[in-house]
Structure 1
Amino acid sequence: MTARLFRYLILSLAAIAFTARPAMAQQILRDAETEAFMAEMSGPLIKAAGMEPRNVQVMVINDPEINAFVAGGQYVWVHSGLIAQADNVNQLQGVVAHELGHIEGGHVIRSGEGIKEATGVTLLSLVLGAAAIAAGGAEAGMGIMGLGQQAAMGRFLAFSRAQESSADLAGARYLSTAHLSGKGSLEFFKKLQNQEYRLAIPQDNSYGRTHPLSGERIQVLREVYEPDPAWNNPPDPQLEARFERIKAKLIGFVSEPTQTLLKYPESDQSIPAHYARAYAWHKSAYPQKALEETDTLLAAQPHDPYFLELKGQILLESGRPAEAIPPLREAVQLTSQPLIATLLGHALIATEDDANFAEAEKVLRNAIARDRENPFAWYQLGVVYEHRGDTARAALATAERYSMMGQDAMALRSADAAMQGLKPGTVDYLRAQDIAMVSRAAVEQQRKRR
């Protein structure tokens, strides 16, 4: 009987813990223009939340659901589906403001409190149920356990709903402090409410949900937003134009080309439409059509770094790396953006011209100095080192790449190989040693879990 009760306890606690665990399996979408836009769009909100903008990142993940979340650290994760469904930049700002409320409130960390409280109810119900069973009341004992599990889950869900309501009000405060209207926030909750209607979710009871019903949230927030002095403030027109560009290129990148071309038909001659079609044609392996769309963009804005980046990318990925270098080089000069610099380094290497490798190394080292969390940049730098016969630093670059990809065994092997050829005590040697130490510990932990 003890073994059965113990197994029941483990399953019950696992169910609660699983409910609180955010999904992190999606692919991160890194794009220079999008990251620059997200930083500018969210900057006033981050300051309003009392945080430093350079320490908070708003990142995009490839997921069609309308969702955003925080999962530890100062990161806000926005689904690509949410951006695609947002009608304007103010709606996106409303969502980000809400997620910043979770960060300021420490809700990810404090979720443990909700789990702990629910676990306490679970344990008590198991003890009382076991006592009833031992006294001969098997049916009563199992009933006590079942009710205990229901009460525990109810406690946890109530805790989660309280956090969501707290984040709603915090987000409203940030919008007001940043002089941004709450109209977009309400509009987006109405989108979620329409989704609830389509899914036939009852609108009269939020019990059993991790979030309050959208109708309840709209009612509360309307009373906060409408009297606010910022209620009628229009969105920044330049930021709105950039949002439309970001949305179009994202749709062009993640959607099926046929869907993109339906949404942005040839009759639409706007900048966002040309942008979306350029990505759609590139995905469809029609580089000439993609270049025609990109050239139209550059005719309108000849020195736009992101249009130059796109042209370079299309040329590079269609087997014309030498032609890709000039637009990419200009884009890097205009922005110093490490993601674009990595693409330029790739183009220089892809020419297989020895004369380009010195510039490739310089460009890639500068890129990594500004953004170390880029596995592809480390890969390209490793190619440069290997090309010049520096196998030790090629191995170190490979170790860096595998380490950030979570491939600990490969990182350990590469770091050990790097130390064989590096002079002890040097910066590179010590870095290889650090990677080896961390990777070896991770490999040992994995081995113990098997």
Structure 2
Amino acid sequence: MPARLIARAALTLGAVAMLLGTTAPAAAQSVLRDAETESLFRDVARPLIIAAGLTPASVQIVLVGDPEINAFVSGGQNIFVFSGLIENADNVNQLQGVLAHELGHIAGGHNVRSNEGIGPATHISILSLVAAVALVAVGAGDAGIAALGLGTATAQSQYLAFSRDQESRADQAGAVFLGKAGESGRGSLEFFNKLLGQEYRLGLKQDNAYNRTHPLDGQRIAYLEAVYKASPAWTTPPDPKLDARFQRVKAKLAGFIEEPQRTFQMYPEGLKTEPARYAHAYAYHKSAYPDAAVAEVDALLALHPADPYYLELKGQILLESGKIAESLPILRAAVAAAPTEPLIATLLGHALVSTENAADFAEAKPLLRKAVVRDRENPDAWYQLGVIYDREGDTARAALATAERFDLQGEPRQAAANAKIALRGLSPGTTDWLRADDIAQVAQNDLVKKKHR
């Protein structure tokens, strides 16, 4: 998922917040792409998506690098999960509870129906604004301010009531989906209780429902506990294999996001579990101790010699430490172990291009072309392809690859400029020409919209 979509979603939510005085999700810092994490998300969500009557291929779960404990739905069937939520979840069943709730929003069409709540609230705000202006015009300034304040408060209350209703409906739907998928609601309750405890510690009030976009956590827990306990899946423990994968992802995320000192607080150096070693490897790599990082990964590979994600990490450490030649056989092994993972293939392509060797370029080109067919939303793959085309003297396709990259990065001016260069060198009507034309037109439209804001 391109970062520009996150930015637009946050902007839309922020505009509603400005109007109604509500709290919108924080603007995303970045989208985090990781093959192992995305594979886990797909496997965890699949039975829940099917239970919701949706198509797994149509629902995308995106990891956002943000410390908040948050998840939300935007852009149709896209679920955005913040890294802070993963770091604060204890097990995979807690993640399942969150995803089931968000799928409740999707299945209920809440993202589309949000205008039903926003529309009336906006109408109230506009009427109060007109009344306030009229009162100020005749010299009743205090009365005008009071009218504006009353209108804003009324609009806010109306929208929040609508939002709370949607959250309650999503809770109910999520409980149904968990039951159909044979998953316990115990993790959902555990996570709610965790959030409730944090609110009490922070001194947040629990008695004023009209100032909250969600139902009170205590109320949600009381309702859901009865529903979950009535389900035959209540006593079903989390899938141990899925939970082990979740613990790995949680650890690598901590190693990647947190400062090394914090990572070692979370996973002490004396701890030798798989998740701990995974976190240590990232922390050592970030601290510029590549030998220590490789040693941790080698300990993991001793347990699982063909694990594609451990191989990927070792290859990445070697590549980013300047040991390009040593990284190549490791990354080739990673691709062989996970031939359908475009992000791993892209890393091997990156390493091959870094050698500046013509033979390696020849190996990288088909690899990267397959990678962008499977996943067009990977800027690094387009960058590496652009380098190869440029070295081959194929200016048009180099420009098209660059246009794709800038388009994903939300830079319409550069995307349009490169797409126009590509159009001049490509045969009209071909697939590449049509794609360049699409990018040029969309990017130009984006620029016009920005100009008139």
TM-score bin (small chain): over 0.9
**Corresponding residue SS for 2:452:** helix
Moved more, 180-189 or 407-416: 407-416
State the alpha-carbon separation in 1 of the partners of residues 106 and 96 from structure 2.
Answer: 15
Identify which of 211, 221, 239 aligns with 2:214: 211
State the alpha-carbon separation in 2 of the partners of residues 285 and 379 from structure 1.
Answer: 26
Aligned counterpart, 1:27: 30
Instruction: Name the CA shift for 1:241/1:128 in 2 (closer, same or farther; >3 Å).
Output: same
Identify which of 39, 42, 45 aligns with 1:42: 45
Aligned counterpart, 2:377: 373
Instruction: Name the CA shift for 1:123/1:418 in 2 (closer, same or farther; >3 Å).
Output: closer
Q: Are 2:341 and 1:325 equivalent residues in the alignment?
A: no
Report the TM-score when normalising by structure 2: 0.92
Superposed CA deviations along residues 10-50 of structure 1, whole A, max 9, x for unmatched, are xx987335737544432011000000001001111111111
How much does 1:266 deviate?
2.6
Moved more, 126-135 or 235-244: 126-135
State the alpha-carbon separation in 2 of the partners of residues 250 and 13 from structure 1.
Answer: 31
Q: Are 2:346 and 1:339 equivalent residues in the alignment?
A: no
How much does 1:356 deviate?
0.8
Q: How many residue pairs are counted as aligned between the two chains?
A: 438
How much does 1:138 deviate?
5.6
How much does 1:262 deviate?
2.1
Superposed CA deviations along residues 92-137 of structure 1, whole A, max 9, x for unmatched, are 1001111111111121222211111112323444455567677886
Q: Is the 1:20–1:111 contact (alpha carbons within 8 Å) kept by the matching residues of 2?
A: no
Q: Are 2:173 and 1:170 equivalent residues in the alignment?
A: yes
How much does 1:395 deviate?
0.8
Identify which of 256, 277, 295 aligns with 1:253: 256
- Tell me which amino acid in the other structure corresponds to 1:442: D
Identify which of 225, 229, 237 aligns with 1:234: 237
Q: Are 2:203 and 1:200 equivalent residues in the alignment?
A: yes
State the alpha-carbon separation in 1 of the partners of residues 79 and 382 from structure 2.
Answer: 25
Q: Is the 1:339–1:367 contact (alpha carbons within 8 Å) kept by the matching residues of 2?
A: yes
Superposed CA deviations along residues 386-440 of structure 1, whole A, max 9, x for unmatched, are 1111111111111111112111111111111112222223222222222222222
How much does 1:368 deviate?
0.5
Instruction: Name the CA shift for 1:241/1:55 in 2 (closer, same or farther; >3 Å).
Output: same
- Tell me which amino acid in the other structure corresponds to 2:55: E
Aligned counterpart, 1:4: none
**Identical aligned pairs, as a percentage?**
58
1:26-425 equivalences in 2 (<5 Å): 26-126=29-129, 139-140=142-143, 142-336=145-339, 337-425=341-429
RMSD: 1.9
**Corresponding residue SS for 1:302:** coil
**Corresponding residue SS for 2:211:** coil
Instruction: Name the CA shift for 1:445/1:323 in 2 (closer, same or farther; >3 Å).
Output: same
Q: Is the 1:129–1:145 contact (alpha carbons within 8 Å) kept by the matching residues of 2?
A: yes
Instruction: Name the CA shift for 1:386/1:232 in 2 (closer, same or farther; >3 Å).
Output: same
State the alpha-carbon separation in 2 of the partners of residues 251 and 44 from structure 1.
Answer: 27
- Tell me which amino acid in the other structure corresponds to 2:256: F
State the alpha-carbon separation in 2 of the partners of residues 406 and 414 from structure 1.
Answer: 14
- Tell me which amino acid in the other structure corresponds to 2:448: E
**Corresponding residue SS for 1:76:** strand
**Corresponding residue SS for 1:272:** helix
State the alpha-carbon separation in 2 of the partners of residues 210 and 253 from structure 1.
Answer: 32
Instruction: Name the CA shift for 1:354/1:194 in 2 (closer, same or farther; >3 Å).
Output: same
Q: Is the 2:426–2:433 contact (alpha carbons within 8 Å) kept by the matching residues of 1?
A: yes
Moved more, 90-99 or 102-111: 102-111
Superposed CA deviations along residues 257-300 of structure 1, whole A, max 9, x for unmatched, are 11111222232111111111001001111100000001000011
Instruction: Name the CA shift for 1:186/1:167 in 2 (closer, same or farther; >3 Å).
Output: same
State the alpha-carbon separation in 1 of the partners of residues 102 and 343 from structure 2.
Answer: 26
Instruction: Name the CA shift for 1:355/1:223 in 2 (closer, same or farther; >3 Å).
Output: same
Identify which of 430, 440, 443 aligns with 2:444: 440
**Corresponding residue SS for 1:207:** helix
- Tell me which amino acid in the other structure corresponds to 1:340: I
State the alpha-carbon separation in 1 of the partners of residues 449 and 170 from structure 2.
Answer: 37
Q: Is the 2:312–2:330 contact (alpha carbons within 8 Å) kept by the matching residues of 1?
A: yes
Q: Is the 1:94–1:184 contact (alpha carbons within 8 Å) kept by the matching residues of 2?
A: yes
Which is bigger in relative contact order (C-alpha 8 A, separation at least 6)? 2
Larger radius of gyration: 1
State the alpha-carbon separation in 1 of the partners of residues 136 and 440 from structure 2.
Answer: 54
Instruction: Name the CA shift for 1:382/1:140 in 2 (closer, same or farther; >3 Å).
Output: closer
- Tell me which amino acid in the other structure corresponds to 2:95: L
Instruction: Name the CA shift for 1:412/1:194 in 2 (closer, same or farther; >3 Å).
Output: same
Please list every run of 5 or more consecutive structure 1 residues that lacks an aligned counterpart in the other structure. Answer: 1-11
Instruction: Name the CA shift for 1:362/1:147 in 2 (closer, same or farther; >3 Å).
Output: same
**Corresponding residue SS for 2:31:** strand
- Tell me which amino acid in the other structure corresponds to 1:347: A
Report the TM-score when normalising by structure 1: 0.93
State the alpha-carbon separation in 2 of the partners of residues 18 and 107 from structure 1.
Answer: 20
Moved more, 130-139 or 220-229: 130-139
- Tell me which amino acid in the other structure corresponds to 1:363: L
State the alpha-carbon separation in 2 of the partners of residues 105 and 14 from structure 1.
Answer: 22
